[in-house]
Amino acid sequence: MTITSFPIWFVDVVGSVLMIVFSFISVGYCLQLKNKAPTDIIINYLLWVCVALAVFAISRSAGHLLKQIFLLIDRRDLWTAIQPFSGAVNTFTFIVVASVTLFFERTWAIYGTILKDRQALQNAHEELLYLNQNLEQLVEKRTEALVISEQKYRRIFEVSKDMILVTRTDGRIVNLNPAGEQLVGITAAGDGNLEGRFFQSFLSHPEDWNVISRHIEDHGFISSAEFDLILEGDARRRVLLSGSLSRNPSDEGETIHFLIKDIEQRRLMQKQMAQADKLASIGELSSGIAHEINNPLGIILGYTQLLLRSEPPHSDRFSDLKTIEKHVKSCKAIVEDLLNFARTSSPQKENLDIHVVISEVIGFVRHHSNLENIQIETVFAPDLPLVLMDEKKIKQVLINLLMNAIHAVGRNGTITITTGLNESASRIAVEVSDTGHGIEQENLLRIFDPFFTTKPTGEGTGLGLSVSYGIIKGHGGNITVKSEPGRGAAFTIALPTTAPLSGR
């Protein structure tokens, strides 16, 4: 086929010129880029490629132009001489471009890592520089923060109302806060030295320490466990103990941090509430029974007294009926006591001076009992306010308490009646204490129960204290007992005062 060669010639010539121009412009751009970032490996790669392509463009395009010129002037021989050299340069430039491209990716990856490391080093350097320049200030700031923190936690330690204790794992006390010292009775003036003391020595049962330490060893902590502490004078105090092992060992080993809360008051209150509940239930039951029995007893007593009228005195039948009358009266007295305990009858209250009432009761008791070697002492607080009370019932309570005290002291002893005022609670207190044999611990909880008595059969009904309890509760007051075997007993009555301490 015959075809025009002009397009080939045109494309060849124009293309060759453009190749040279574009490649050199590219090299120029690359050089500018390299000036901006001389160490940038990517720019270096592009520069290599552009230079190789520029060489290729010169070699090939100049070759092509020369070829056209030589062919036009009919000097093919010159072209034949140059052609191999041009071709070899072209081949070489291809290989250069291909080679740098092949290594480009690997170099790029390494360069990326280097850049990342350089950035990290730069950051570290900047940080070090900052620390170096501001070290003094930073240390000062940190120290200040530490002092504030120390003060904050020291304050918590010092002012806490609960006991905070730090011990070694063997129980050796490291630190104890003032509340703790106060609780266990360690004073700076006294045995304030905690050196070498062990926490287990403050436990009422030292073997409890094994339970505590084993639990902490197994679980790393102990939470809200109840134990008894021994206080000064062998008193015991119920506490709620929580503690945890400090996993951050100091130079001297691990420590256990305890928080110990005194729950004695709460426990006593719970006990009292349980007791009050129990007595209220018994009272309800008793009043039900008493009402049911009271009516038949009234009928029996009435018919007995009717029969007695028609019987001649000194007859056997009269004597029998008298016996029935006596026992029925006795039963009625018990039933009335039960009703008093259950507070079914409303008291006839009036404002009275408790000291006058106490004095009258003491006089009555002295008159009716043999008190040869028994001292009754009174310690009356001055200016006690008047108390709204049912005189008869309060007297009954005081008589009950005094008679019990007399019975407890036996032949020799002292009974003390002390009065006092608790202004904050607006209550007066009357304490009847004796130097008698005291009350056993197990009996203390049952002492206000109806029909509970430690007296021999026939000597007491066991209703005296129950009735007293009912009467005091009926007055909105409270009656408590404290006793230790061999050290006597003390009953305390608390009664509300009449409006704002103004009796006199």
- Chain contacts with other proteins (rule: CB under 8 A): 1-9, 11-12, 14-16, 18-19, 22-23, 25-26, 29-30, 32-33, 36-37, 46, 49-50, 53, 57, 84, 87-88, 90-92, 94-95, 97-99, 101-102, 104-105, 108
Beta bridge partners of residue 255, listed in sequence order: 168, 246
Report yes or no: 64 and 16 within 8 Å, Cβ to Cβ. yes
User: Nearest distance from residue 31's CB to other proteins, in Å?
Assistant: 10
User: Nearest distance from residue 153's CB to other proteins, in Å?
Assistant: 44
Cα–Cα distance, 352 to 177 (Å, whole number): 49
Report yes or no: 461 and 450 within 8 Å, Cβ to Cβ. no
In sequence order, which residues have a C-beta less than 8 Å from that of residue 109 and are 6 or more positions away?
A: none
The nearer residue to other proteins, 30 or 447, going by C-beta atoms, is 30
Q: Which two tokens stand for residue 496?
A: 């509300």
The nearer residue to other proteins, 36 or 411, going by C-beta atoms, is 36
The nearer residue to other proteins, 37 or 235, going by C-beta atoms, is 37
- From the number of C-beta atoms within 10 Å of its C-beta (0-12, 13-18, 19+), residue 483 rates as buried
The nearer residue to other proteins, 49 or 164, going by C-beta atoms, is 49
Burial 325-341 (b: 16+ CB within 10 A, else e): beebeebbebbbbbbbb
User: Nearest distance from residue 41's CB to other proteins, in Å?
Assistant: 14
The nearer residue to other proteins, 91 or 201, going by C-beta atoms, is 91
The DSSP H or E segment spanning 246 is strand 236-250
Cα–Cα distance, 240 to 255 (Å, whole number): 19
User: Nearest distance from residue 177's CB to other proteins, in Å?
Assistant: 55
Side-chain-side CA neighbours of residue 231 (13 Å): 15
C-alpha distance from residue 165 to each of 175, 197, 244 (Å): 6, 12, 11
Beta bridge partners of residue 166, listed in sequence order: 175, 257
The nearer residue to other proteins, 33 or 300, going by C-beta atoms, is 33
- From the number of C-beta atoms within 10 Å of its C-beta (0-12, 13-18, 19+), residue 377 rates as exposed
User: Nearest distance from residue 137's CB to other proteins, in Å?
Assistant: 25
Q: Of 342, 336, 331, nearest to 287 (Cα)?
A: 342
User: Nearest distance from residue 148's CB to other proteins, in Å?
Assistant: 37
Beta bridge partners of residue 495, listed in sequence order: 428
User: Nearest distance from residue 45's CB to other proteins, in Å?
Assistant: 10
Q: Which two tokens stand for residue 172?
A: 């050796």
The nearer residue to other proteins, 15 or 220, going by C-beta atoms, is 15
Q: For residue 200, what is the DSSP state? A: G
The dihedral through the CA atoms of 309, 313, 316, 320 has a sign that is positive
The nearer residue to other proteins, 90 or 182, going by C-beta atoms, is 90
User: Nearest distance from residue 124's CB to other proteins, in Å?
Assistant: 20
The nearer residue to other proteins, 47 or 173, going by C-beta atoms, is 47
User: Nearest distance from residue 98's CB to other proteins, in Å?
Assistant: 4
Report yes or no: 469 and 282 within 8 Å, Cβ to Cβ. no
Q: Which two tokens stand for residue 270?
A: 């719970």
The nearer residue to other proteins, 14 or 110, going by C-beta atoms, is 14
Cα–Cα distance, 396 to 65 (Å, whole number): 143
The nearer residue to other proteins, 26 or 483, going by C-beta atoms, is 26
Cα–Cα distance, 357 to 395 (Å, whole number): 7
Cα–Cα distance, 78 to 83 (Å, whole number): 9
User: Nearest distance from residue 118's CB to other proteins, in Å?
Assistant: 16
User: Nearest distance from residue 12's CB to other proteins, in Å?
Assistant: 6
